[in-house]
């Protein structure tokens, strides 16, 4: 049998298969974009911006479905266990994909085995904020005074293993300062704790932090990107302030249940990249302190591996214990 004839037979067989027919007709029903965090959270904001543009691009409604709980692990598990038929997608931050497998002894899913990368949507640095009453005007002052108050200062985070927790643990080990970790349910609670004097500092997402900075209730000392970011051009990066290589970026990405047909993932990836690279979407993201990304599935897969290696080292050096 000639190679051409064999290829024609294979192609005809695929075209006749139910799997190929479903993939070719996709999407033929509304899509769920599950966000494993509450309404109003950073990933929820990004998801709703995406859904507005995805619906007309795909010709089907795209419904944002918030399923918060367990630091994002609950909603992520829902997607991991969903039928891989192209109707269910996940938009999440890095925590459930990168640090949860390193810090949870009973994770109800395996992000490598159970999820398929689709596209990196947006990135954002964290902002180091402090209580203005400390009299700290810059990062060097903060480190100096923290050392003088060895073990007497606290810092707030949104939970063990969160980006806000691990960023400070990394900074603490690099600078030799001794701060006590106090976890909270969310960033609004961290803000209230700083305002109330229960904690003195924290790494926070800029969307919430900068509103309090502008109001004079918090003081921002720097951002955790490798250089200054377009959304916060007036804030120096910690790399500029004597801490080369200090990068702790928050990011949002879209994934699908493992086994979702490749044509569906490829189509979704192409549509997402087109939307994300568009000026309108980029401008909307920038207003929310995000930088638009837009990557291939393989690039997102590589990022997850790189980030997991990076934070595994931080967790080991800082002595953060799994729960």
DSSP H helices, 17-99, are 18-25, 42-58, 73-80
Whether 237 and 224 have beta carbons less than 8 Å apart is answered as yes
- pLDDT bucket at 16, cuts 50 / 70 / 90: low
Q: Is the peptide bond before 27 cis (omega within 30 degrees of 0)?
A: yes
- pLDDT bucket at 251, cuts 50 / 70 / 90: very high
Least confident piece of the model among 9-13, 127-131, 159-163, 189-193: 9-13
Q: Tokens standing for 178?
A: 């001794």
Using CA atoms, how far apart are residues 51 and 254, in angstroms rounded to an integer? 12
Q: How confident is the model over 183-210, as a mean pLDDT? A: 93
Give per-residue pLDDT as tens, 36-65.
999 988 899 999 999 999 999 999 999 999
The secondary structure of 180-191 as a DSSP string is EEEE-SSHHHHH
Q: What percent of the chain has pLDDT over 90?
A: 84
Q: How confident is the model over 96-102, as a mean pLDDT? A: 95
Whether 140 and 178 have beta carbons less than 8 Å apart is answered as no
Average pLDDT, the chain: 92
Given this model, what pLDDT does residue 46 score?
95
Q: Tokens standing for 181?
A: 């970790």
Q: Report angle CA 70, 71, 75 to the nearest 5 degrees.
A: 70
Using CA atoms, how far apart are residues 17 and 251, in angstroms rounded to an integer? 38
pLDDT over 60 (residue 2): no
- pLDDT bucket at 289, cuts 50 / 70 / 90: very high
Whether 84 and 259 have beta carbons less than 8 Å apart is answered as yes
Q: Tokens standing for 198?
A: 């229960």
Q: Is 78 helix (H, G, I), strand (E, B) or coil?
A: helix
Whether 153 and 146 have beta carbons less than 8 Å apart is answered as yes
Of 248, 220, 218, whose CA–CA distance to 235 is shortest? 220
Whether 48 and 40 have beta carbons less than 8 Å apart is answered as no
- pLDDT bucket at 278, cuts 50 / 70 / 90: very high
Q: Which residue has the tokens 């967790």?
A: 315
Q: Tokens standing for 58?
A: 């795909």
Q: Is 119 exposed, middle or buried (0-12, 13-18, 19+ CB in 10 A)?
A: buried
Measured CA distances, 192 to 187, 189, 198 (Å): 9, 5, 9
């Amino acid at each position: 049998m000639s190679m051409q004839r064999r290829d024609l037979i294979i192609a005809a067989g695929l075209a006749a298969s139910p799997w190929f027919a479903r993939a070719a007709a996709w999407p033929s029903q509304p899509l769920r974009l599950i966000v494993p965090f509450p309404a109003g959270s950073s990933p929820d904001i990004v998801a709703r911006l995406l859904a507005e543009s995805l619906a007309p691009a795909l010709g089907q409604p795209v419904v944002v479905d918030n399923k918060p709980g367990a630091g994002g692990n609950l909603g992520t598990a829902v997607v991991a266990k969903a039928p891989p038929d192209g109707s269910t997608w996940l938009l999440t931050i890095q925590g459930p994909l990168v640090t949860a497998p390193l810090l949870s002894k009973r994770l109800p899913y395996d992000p490598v085995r159970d999820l398929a990368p689709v596209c990196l949507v947006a990135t954002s640095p964290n902002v180091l904020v402090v209580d203005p009453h400390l009299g700290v005007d810059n990062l060097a002052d903060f480190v100096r005074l923290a050392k003088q108050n060895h073990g007497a200062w606290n810092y707030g985070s949104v939970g063990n293993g969160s980006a806000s927790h691990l960023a400070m643990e990394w900074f603490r080990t690099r600078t030799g300062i001794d701060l006590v970790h106090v976890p909270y349910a969310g960033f609004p609670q961290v803000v209230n704790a700083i305002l109330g004097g229960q904690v003195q500092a924290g790494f926070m997402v800029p969307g919430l932090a900068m509103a309090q900075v502008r109001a004079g209730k918090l003081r921002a000392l720097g951002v955790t990107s490798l250089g200054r970011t377009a959304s916060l051009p007036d804030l120096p990066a910690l790399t500029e302030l004597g801490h080369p290589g200090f990068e702790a970026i928050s990011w949002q990405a879209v994934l699908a249940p493992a086994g979702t047909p490749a044509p569906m993932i490829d189509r979704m990836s192409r549509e997402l990249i087109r939307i994300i690279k568009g000026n309108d979407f980029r401008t909307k993201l920038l207003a929310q302190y995000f930088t638009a990304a837009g990557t291939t599935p393989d690039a997102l897969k590589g990022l997850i591996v790189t980030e997991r290696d990076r934070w595994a080292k931080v967790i080991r050096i800082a002595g953060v214990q799994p729960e």
